[in-house]
């Protein structure tokens, strides 16, 4: 009834999976954005599909060392999930963790953990939001600007602090490299007050109609002043004006401040997502 098909060629994988992912661009913004913008030098660790009646119903993609992205294309019943979990367990040798739709991924992880005699550890409870129109415009307190290479030192520290805050810490050398990549992309934005950067937000993983906002960060000393709201609102507006019909982002559900900010701007919740890791 079910089978797992592994892929070894990125282009073959994209040809099969992208049409399914594009049916919900914002919900699938992470895997879709990765596949549509993947560097030719990068070969994903895992590319696989779970098939039912010759049609893919679930996709597995790993480009990050600690997590496999799970995308679901049709409803999977409670009776089907243990069978699918067992197939994945038998087909994928290394499974460090999963990220994907909360209810399904949590149950699938529990099944696989039981088979492998591992425990499941929560990385982050998340929510995916989508925006089609900015409802709250930025205030006139400060101004928006694009980050440049002159900001490298401060952005390096902010990337380091941001990574630690989302439970995916970098070494400082990694943070420096990531900061340089973000700046070079030309889509890292900042909010500035009195000629001082106080907040940042990045745009990445563009798809046909959607683009993701990530790396939203404000240092502690500048928080609760509306700077992140201004930065994200202005960046979102510019992205929509540039031709994207929507923007999306992930939030930590346990952070009421950030969730409130995005709702005020006009972001609407789509699905709850979860990041889970396996440990001995």
Question: Kind and range of the H or E element at 178?
Answer: helix 172-185
Burial of residue 226, with CB atoms counted within 10 A of its CB: 0-12 exposed, 13-18 middle, 19 or more buried: buried
- Comparing 46 with 257, the larger pLDDT belongs to 46
Once rounded to an integer, what is the mean pLDDT over residues 230-249?
Answer: 97
**DSSP line for 2-43:** EEEEE---HHHHHHHHHHHHGGGTTTTHHHHHHHHT--TT--
pLDDT score of 63 more than 80: yes
Average confidence score pLDDT of the chain: 95
Closest CA to 30 of 119, 128, 108, 175: 128
Q: What is the pLDDT of residues 182-233, one digit of tens each?
A: 999 999 999 999 999 999 999 999 999 999 999 999 999 999 999 999 999 9
pLDDT, residue 21, reads: 97
At 157, the pLDDT band (50, 70, 90 cuts) reads very high
pLDDT, residue 169, reads: 85
pLDDT, residue 206, reads: 95
Once rounded to an integer, what is the mean pLDDT over residues 154-158?
Answer: 97
pLDDT score of 98 more than 90: yes
In the numeric block, which tokens belong to residue 225? 């002043």
> What φ, ψ does residue 178 adopt, rounded to 5°?
-65, -40
How far apart CA 137 and CA 107 sit, in angstroms, is: 40
Ranges 45-54, 88-97, 163-172: which has the least confidence: 163-172
What residues contact 107, with CB distance under 8 A and at least 6 apart?
Answer: 81, 85
pLDDT, residue 184, reads: 96
Contact criterion met (CB below 8 Å) for 58 and 71: yes
Once rounded to an integer, what is the mean pLDDT over residues 232-257?
Answer: 95
What residues contact 108, with CB distance under 8 A and at least 6 apart?
Answer: 70, 81, 84, 85, 88, 98
Give me the torsion for CA of 177, 189, 196, 222, rounded to 10°. Answer: -90
pLDDT score of 142 more than 80: yes
Once rounded to an integer, what is the mean pLDDT over residues 159-188?
Answer: 92
At 154, the pLDDT band (50, 70, 90 cuts) reads very high
How far apart CA 17 and CA 253 sit, in angstroms, is: 28
pLDDT score of 39 more than 90: no
Neighbour count for residue 203 (Cβ, 10 Å): 24
Share of the chain above pLDDT 90, in %: 91
pLDDT, residue 46, reads: 97
pLDDT score of 41 more than 80: no
Once rounded to an integer, what is the mean pLDDT over residues 237-246?
Answer: 97
pLDDT score of 262 more than 80: yes
């Amino acid at each position: 009834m079910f089978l797992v098909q592994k892929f070894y060629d990125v282009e073959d994988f994209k040809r099969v999976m992208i049409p399914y992912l594009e049916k919900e661009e914002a919900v699938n913004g992470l895997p879709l954005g990765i596949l549509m913008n993947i560097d030719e030098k990068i070969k994903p660790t895992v590319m696989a599909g779970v098939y039912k009646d010759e049609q893919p119903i679930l996709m597995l993609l790993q480009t990050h060392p600690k997590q496999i992205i799970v995308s679901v294309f049709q409803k999977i019943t409670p009776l089907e999930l243990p069978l699918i979990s067992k197939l994945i367990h038998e087909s994928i040798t290394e499974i460090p963790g999963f990220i994907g739709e909360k209810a399904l991924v949590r149950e699938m992880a529990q099944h696989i953990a039981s088979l492998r005699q591992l425990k499941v550890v929560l990385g982050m409870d998340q929510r995916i939001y989508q925006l089609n129109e900015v409802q709250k415009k930025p205030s006139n307190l400060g101004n928006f600007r694009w980050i440049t290479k002159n900001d490298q030192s401060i952005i390096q520290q902010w990337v380091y602090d941001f990574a630690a805050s989302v439970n995916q810490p970098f070494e400082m050398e990694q943070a420096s490299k990531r900061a340089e990549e973000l700046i070079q992309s030309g889509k890292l934005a900042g909010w500035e007050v009195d000629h001082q950067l106080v907040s940042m937000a990045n745009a990445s993983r563009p798809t046909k109609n959607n683009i993701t906002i990530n790396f939203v960060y404000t240092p502690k000393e500048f928080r609760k002043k509306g700077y992140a709201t201004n930065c994200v609102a202005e960046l979102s507006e510019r992205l929509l004006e540039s031709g994207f019909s929507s923007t999306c982002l992930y939030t930590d559900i346990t952070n009421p401040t950030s969730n409130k900010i995005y709702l005020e701007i006009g972001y609407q919740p789509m699905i709850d997502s979860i990041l889970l890791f396996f440990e001995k």
